[in-house]
Amino acid sequence: MIRTQVGIIGAGPAGFMLSHLLHLEGIESVIIERSQKDHVRSRLRAGVLEQGTVEMMREVGLGERMDRLALEQHALDFRFNNRSHRLDFHEASGGRSAWVYPQYEVVADLMQAREEAGAQIFYDAPVTHIEGLEGSRPTIHFESEGQPLELSCDFVAGCDGFRGISRSAIPDDKLRLYDRVYPFGWLGILADAPPAIQDITWGCHPDGFAMMSIRTPEVTRLYLQCDPDDSPDNWSDDRIWAALHKRLDVDGQPPINEGRITQKAITAMRSFICEPMRFGRLFLAGDAAHIVPPTGAKGLNAAMADIKVLGRSLVEHYKRHDQRWLDGYADTCLERMWLVQRFSAGLCTMVHQFPGQSAFERGMQLADLNYMTGTREGRAVFAHNFTGLPVQA
């Protein structure tokens, strides 16, 4: 039997960040991760950090590479009715920004810091079940190198993503799940092409949504709304570029640049939230507790916000014997998370074409887009949410 203070399930950004925060405060943790290390390091995921996440990375001593490599963004260019409607969220939020810094870079920074500090991490080690969450010392059962192992801890952090196991440890009669699946997906494309403009660009077109953003000065990240059951094989390069030009190019702006397509994949879209985020000594964080559609780029940032609160709560428990933070964890995170859901789902509804959508609904979308980009109040609301709501920790 292995012993530690905090048992962490999942080596995604949430699990790694929690382990790092606890280490800085002298609190022990062990991470148990189902996948192999190379898979964890190279997984391609979202990549926009909000102001609070960037500040958190700096505060925990992980800002150096990020400050060198991340691309600071000040504006989002909404394109509709054949015009560009540039929303300067930096100005509208009083100087806050967003940064393009892919999730695998955040994970690489965290992984390196944890390894340098000699962290105990089990890779290729699926957790099979958790026991004793309502007692004083839960046990995490997992497998490593074909052997069953047990980790005994004070608390379990369920950082094992949407398809993880920890949420299922909460009894059905205590669990409330809120779920919305959207009738479309995103075809994600990576192209060796310098972006035509530096701003993140959204095309809100009657054919469907499209997006362009800088990945590096030589590589563009692009997305096209598509059927959720579509296959990337149905999208030839010519079809992709034709659709991107149609949905993103507008009068008075340079057309998007084409280049060699190096990656095509389809992502489904959902909004999901699980209540409560705590059961006994189990604390859920990140994708284990909530999923947002990628509109708004909130997934990674929401995970980091949970971890900031959970880290603080565990520090208050161990250092000051104060339980109030742990007791308030679920409510603190959920209150913020519902606001994040509202922003993400609201944007998602505003910019996509829904099957069978009426002309009236299209009119409402355009009115929402005009209000958000064309009024000081609308810009301020977008900017406040996009650059990140405050975290109570």
Question: From the CB of 245, what's the least distance to ligand APR, in Å?
Answer: 28
Sequence-ordered list of residues with C-beta below 8 angstroms from that of 10, at least 6 positions apart, any chain: 31, 32, 33, 34, 158, 159, 160, 161, 164, 286, 288
Question: From the CB of 145, what's the least distance to ligand APR, in Å?
Answer: 15
Total site size for ligand APR, rule CB under 6 A: 28
- Pairing of the two strands 176-192 and 200-205: unpaired
Identity of the residue, 27 or 285, whose beta carbon is nearer to ligand APR in the bound complex: 285
Residue 300, number of CB atoms within 10 A of its CB: 25
34 binds ligand APR (CB under 6 A): yes
Which residue(s) pair with 208 in the sheet? Answer: 205
299 binds ligand APR (CB under 6 A): yes
Question: Tokens 């060796």 appear where?
Answer: 192
Under DSSP, is residue 188 helix (H, G, I), strand (E, B) or coil? strand
Handedness of CA 293, 295, 296, 297 (dihedral sign): positive
Under DSSP, is residue 268 helix (H, G, I), strand (E, B) or coil? strand
Could you give the count of Cα atoms lying within 13 Å of 339 in the half-sphere of its Cβ?
16
Q: Residues 22, 54, 133, 159: which binds ligand APR (CB under 6 A)?
A: 159
Identity of the residue, 314 or 369, whose beta carbon is nearer to ligand APR in the bound complex: 314
Stretch in the footprint of ligand APR (CB under 6 A) among 32-40, 64-72, 225-233, 336-344: 32-40
326-334 LR contacts (CB < 8 Å, sep 24+): 326/278, 326/283, 329/277, 329/278, 329/283, 330/275, 330/276, 330/277, 330/278, 330/283, 332/392, 332/393, 333/277, 333/285, 333/289, 333/305, 333/306, 333/309, 334/273, 334/275, 334/276, 334/277
CA end-to-end distance (rounded Å), the chain = 34
Helix 324-351 × helix 376-386 angle, to 10°: 130
For residue 212, what are its two tokens?
A: 């362009």
165 binds ligand APR (CB under 6 A): yes
For residue 164, what are its two tokens?
A: 């993880």
Identity of the residue, 160 or 199, whose beta carbon is nearer to ligand APR in the bound complex: 160
Q: Residues 40, 169, 214, 222: which binds ligand APR (CB under 6 A)?
A: 40
Q: Residues 286, 293, 311, 388: which binds ligand APR (CB under 6 A)?
A: 286
Stretch in the footprint of ligand APR (CB under 6 A) among 29-37, 68-76, 372-380, 383-391: 29-37
13 binds ligand APR (CB under 6 A): yes
Q: Residues 63, 126, 228, 259: which binds ligand APR (CB under 6 A)?
A: 126
Identity of the residue, 10 or 185, whose beta carbon is nearer to ligand APR in the bound complex: 10
Whole-angstrom distance, CA of residue 82 vs CA of residue 248: 9
11 binds ligand APR (CB under 6 A): yes
Q: Which of residues 54-113 bind ligand APR (CB under 6 A)?
A: 103
Identity of the residue, 80 or 279, whose beta carbon is nearer to ligand APR in the bound complex: 279
10 binds ligand APR (CB under 6 A): yes
12 binds ligand APR (CB under 6 A): yes
160 binds ligand APR (CB under 6 A): yes
Q: Which of residues 301-320 bind ligand APR (CB under 6 A)?
A: 303
Stretch in the footprint of ligand APR (CB under 6 A) among 187-195, 249-257, 282-290, 334-342: 282-290
Residues that bind ligand APR (CB under 6 A): 9-15, 32-35, 40, 45-46, 103, 126-127, 159-161, 164-165, 286-288, 299-300, 303
